[in-house]
Amino acid sequence: MKIAVCVKQIPDPADPGALDLETNTLKRDVKLILDESDSYGVEMALQLAESAGGGTVTLISMAPNAEVNGLRTALAMGADDAILISDEALAGTDALGTAKMLAKAIERVEADLVLTATESSDGYTGTVPAQISELLGIPSVTFAKEITVADGVVAVKRQTEAGYDDVTCPLPVLVSVTAGVVEPRYPSFKGIMGAKSKPVENLTVADLGFTAEQVGWAGGGQKITAVEAAAERGSGEVIVDEGEAYINIVSFLEELKVI
Amino acid sequence: MTMLWVHAEATDGKVATITLEMLAKARELAEHVGCVMVGDADAVAAELGAHGASIVFSTGDLDGGLAGPALAAGLAAAIGAGAIPDAILFGTTQDGRDIAGRLSVKLDAPVITNVVDLEAGEGSLIATEPIFGGVTNVKTVFTSDKPGIFLVRPKSFEAVSVDGGAAKVAPLAVPDLGATGGARVVNRHVEESDGPKLDEAAIVVSGGRGLGDAEKFSIIEDLAKALGGAAGASRAVVDAGWVPFSYQVGQTGKVVKPDLYIAAGISGATQHMVGMKGSKTIIAINKDSEAPIFGVADLGIVGDVHKVLPQLLEALANR
């Protein structure tokens, strides 16, 4: 079974981002890491390939620069190889443009199964999985909390507002996974050393048959007209509990007339 | 705006709150408001009409097929045939994202996501979206003349009925979906919970990783019950499998705006904060005095949830 996993390299969430006010794009001059949300898809792919008795796990990623730090993490977990679409022209590319690039790269892999997260931790548009599926002309099952594959059919427990649905679908299919679908492994020392020599193919926008004008900020079809600070929520009293702070809560609840 | 379409979602003949919220805003912005949906439109035409929709286009029952490919294909075909709305509003839900994503490919038009406000601009809607966990707002417009596709976050607008008459029901034809229609729902599971619904409760008590382990979560349920509220949880706790996803408050889970939100053992990751920052009053209990949650709390208690919560419960029981 050939599995493609879309992964994103993002600025460390612990290191808050900033908007470049001249270009209205995210500043990405910090070191990028593997989006934690994507580690679930990588783990799921590795487990599915294993239970299928073999297969390949190819990472598909896109970044304006040639960053590979996050990809090496996923390769160290056990992925076989990676395709990185990197091109300066990609700066400012929106979700649809991103999906177009990723879909073109996935076509090269001829994957039976495409895995993604439900949304990235930094952009969280949550539309890329459906967009990739539509571009590839394949079905999709989003928000999976459990996946099994047997006899060319994927069975998914799909999270819903009310609970979950059992969904089945023939391959090839795209499945987006929720955090918690599996417990991602930590890369072993051997894995980390081995990852350094695993193949990472670099592709440009032109390699995928697109021009620079079709991607980036110009290709987006939307523009930011204003950036403003949101109304700040002030904080109130903070009390260190010395055994009786619950009394403060009780009187606060009384003030609110909750009790 | 002349015409806006709102994606309607419903369960057992009851329209989802997010749909009614979007209808309230759409009514304000456009002369004509229509709904688009999958499933039984007759069952909800009265409620949608009461909230301002004059017409409901429905694909009808999909026989286990998923909404994403079917409604996107139906909408694209209708738009191609000349029924062109100024914009289509979808709720930020599982199906809303699926449909909006697929439709955006069909129309080759982008989606503006995480919308918390919409206003009329010159010939186009101006959307407001919070970024960096709500510290900054950006306003965005579409630059093409294609119908705008917006994904709206729950609790952005207030649902208000205008006592309109029932909406007219019209069929929305779904073209052959080919491979994209391959997925089938074979079984639905509803995870029941007692008490008020999380996103509708006036009081929400949420627990986080600071509780230590799954067994300790019962104290959150107990406090929620004692206050007549609903229990919620941070993503960390849901990911760890302590409680079902239906408990999750945050970017990926439910957006709540209760009168009172109590966060116990929750540090306040961005992911969580965007789902509860709109609460009227917030009480936070956490042992780390540096936890970001204290930055939005009206009352912050730096302490051990395992000590403070039992004491609080006992005090409430003795009243």
B3-53 pLDDT, tens digit per residue, is 999 999 999 899 999 999 999 999 999 999 999 999 999 999 999 999 999
Q: With a cut of 80, say whether residue B56 has pLDDT above it.
A: yes
Q: Where are the domains of chain A?
A: 2-220
Of the partner residues B137, B184, B301, the one whose CB lies closest to the CB of residue A167: B184
Q: Which CATH class is domain B203-317?
A: alpha beta
Does the beta-carbon distance from B188 to A165 stay under 8 Å? yes
Backbone dihedral angles phi then psi of residue A101, each to the nearest 5 degrees: -65, -50
| pLDDT for B120 | 94
| pLDDT for A16 | 59
pLDDT in tens, A111-151: 999 999 999 988 889 999 999 999 999 999 999 999 999 99
pLDDT in tens, A25-67: 776 567 789 999 999 999 999 999 999 998 999 999 998 888 8
Q: Chain A partners of B227 at a C-beta cutoff of 8 Å?
A: 253, 258-259
Tell me if chain A has a CB within 8 Å of the CB of B302.
yes
DSSP string, B172-233: ------GGGG--EEEEEEE---SSS-TTT-SEEEEE-GGG-SGGGGHHHHHHHHHTT-EEEE
Separation between Cα atoms, residue A109 and residue A58, nearest integer Å: 8
Of the partner residues B190, B285, B299, the one whose CB lies closest to the CB of residue A237: B299
| pLDDT for A161 | 80
Is the ipTM here above 0.85?
Answer: yes
| pLDDT for B204 | 98
pLDDT in tens, B119-131: 998 878 999 998 8
Separation between Cα atoms, residue A180 and residue B2, nearest integer Å: 44
pLDDT in tens, A169-219: 999 999 999 987 899 999 999 999 999 999 999 999 999 999 999 998 888
Tell me if chain A has a CB within 8 Å of the CB of B98.
yes
Q: CA of A199, closest CA in chain B: separation in Å?
A: 31
Which of A46-55, A244-253, B193-202 shows the lowest mean pLDDT across its residues? Answer: B193-202
The distance from CA B193 to its chain's CA centroid, rounded to whole angstroms, is 18
Tell me if chain B has a CB within 8 Å of the CB of A255.
no
Residue B269 or residue B56, greater confidence = B56
Q: Chain A partners of B101 at a C-beta cutoff of 8 Å?
A: 95, 99, 127-131, 133-134
Q: Can you tell me the mean pLDDT for B186-200?
A: 86
Q: Mean of the per-residue pLDDT values for chain B?
A: 94
In chain B, % of residues over pLDDT 90: 86
In chain B, % of residues over pLDDT 70: 100
Amino acid at site B129: E
Q: Chain B partners of A168 at a C-beta cutoff of 8 Å?
A: 183-184, 186
Q: Which CATH class is domain B3-181?
A: alpha beta
Per the CB < 8 A criterion, the answer to whether A120 and B164 are in contact is no
> Any bridge partners for residue B206, and if so which?
B232, B263
Per the CB < 8 A criterion, the answer to whether A17 and A11 are in contact is yes
Q: Chain B partners of A142 at a C-beta cutoff of 8 Å?
A: 68, 94, 97-98
Q: Can you tell me the mean pLDDT for B135-149?
A: 91
Q: CA of A18, closest CA in chain B: separation in Å?
A: 8
Q: Which pLDDT band, with edges at 50, 70 and 90, does B307 fall under?
A: very high
The answer to whether the predicted template modeling score (pTM) of the entire model surpasses 0.90 is yes
Q: Can you tell me the mean pLDDT for B173-178?
A: 97
Q: Chain A partners of B277 at a C-beta cutoff of 8 Å?
A: 233
| pLDDT for A122 | 83
CA A150-A151-A152 angle, to 5 degrees, is 95
pLDDT in tens, A73-109: 999 999 999 999 999 999 889 999 999 999 999 999 9
Q: Can you tell me the mean pLDDT for B286-303?
A: 95
| pLDDT for A34 | 94
pLDDT in tens, B210-229: 999 999 999 999 999 999 99
Tokens 């609840």 correspond to A253
| pLDDT for B156 | 95
Binding-face residues of A in 136-165 toward B, CB within 8 A: 137-143, 145, 158-165
Separation between Cα atoms, residue B76 and residue A105, nearest integer Å: 26
DSSP class of residue B89 equals: E
| pLDDT for B298 | 96
Same fold yes or no, B3-181 and B203-317: yes
Of the partner residues B227, B239, B251, the one whose CB lies closest to the CB of residue A258: B227
Does the beta-carbon distance from A230 to B186 stay under 8 Å? no
Q: What tokens does A70 get?
A: 């996050």
Tell me if chain A has a CB within 8 Å of the CB of B17.
no
Does the beta-carbon distance from B136 to A227 stay under 8 Å? yes
Q: Where are the domains of chain B?
A: 3-181, 203-317
Number of CB pairs, chain A paired with chain B, less than 8 A apart: 265
Does the beta-carbon distance from B113 to A220 stay under 8 Å? no
Q: Which pLDDT band, with edges at 50, 70 and 90, does B288 fall under?
A: very high
| pLDDT for A29 | 64
pLDDT in tens, B86-135: 999 999 999 999 999 999 999 999 999 999 999 998 878 999 998 877 77
Separation between Cα atoms, residue B149 and residue B152, nearest integer Å: 10
Domain A2-220 maps to which CATH number in 3.40.50.1860, 3.40.50.620, 3.40.50.740, 3.40.50.300?
A: 3.40.50.620
Q: Which pLDDT band, with edges at 50, 70 and 90, does A17 fall under?
A: low
Does the beta-carbon distance from A165 to B187 stay under 8 Å? yes
Binding-face residues of A in 30-89 toward B, CB within 8 A: none
Residue B207 or residue B136, greater confidence = B207
